[in-house]
Amino acid sequence: MSEEEIKYRPISVRELLTEMQTVIQLILDLAYSAVLFHDHDLAEEVTELEERMDTLRVLLLMNTAIAIRDADDAEAMVGIMQMASVADRISDAAGDIARIVLLEIGIDPYIVEAFKKVKERLVRTRILPGSVLAKKTLGELELESNIGVNVMVVRRGKELVINPGGKTALQEGDILIARGSDVGASELDKLAKGELKTIPRPAVEWENDLT
């Protein structure tokens, strides 16, 4: 995304830095998961988040530039701009990691095998027409209690909803990024694609404590 395409919007510096921090944490998780599980979808999401980080950086520049009125203001903004620069470099580094997957470079298979034993993983999936997830809120779906996945991000075009709440409604075309077990991640992907028509319910084990 070119900087010319980004238009000024009045946003507080605190809000911009908070979102940048959140995106950095997410992009690092996605990049390493993409490499370890050789997941092209996660790698593609890293490139999308790289663009988001570029947008946040430019918006931060615009809003700090407007806020600077004198030398004291300029000095106060130096630390903020240094933080933004570091975040941007981390984002670029994560993008380089993800491109290992996209360019089919690969890593040592022993490392991949070791990390396959990790209990949780990230999954990225798109809600297709006919999916049971569409037109429902996360609260209605109860994905965490039903299939053991936590939706971390809902992306609708360029709009990101990070840490969505129960009232967040899903739509066809939304991209979900979630964390969960291999089984839960697979079930979420099938639900989003319409391959699974009903949400699996957890088995309930009844214990008799009779003595």
Q: What is the pLDDT of residue 108?
A: 61
Note whether 200 and 180 are within 8 A (CB). no
**Predicted TM-score (pTM) of this structure:** 0.71
User: What is d(CA 184, CA 133) in angstroms, rounded to the nearest whole number?
Assistant: 15
Domains in the chain, CATH or no CATH each: 3-109 (1.20.58.220), 119-193 (3.30.70.1450)
Which tokens belong to 109?
């298979």
Q: Is the dihedral of CA 58, 179, 136, 18 positive or negative?
A: negative
DSSP states of 15-84: HHHHHHHHHHHHHHHHHHHHHHTT-HHHHHHHHHHHHHHHHHHHHHHHHHHHH--SHHHHHHHHHHHHHH
Q: pLDDT tens, 128-137?
A: 999 999 999 9
Q: What angle do CA 175, 181, 187 make, to 5 degrees?
A: 55
Q: What is the pLDDT of residue 115?
A: 57
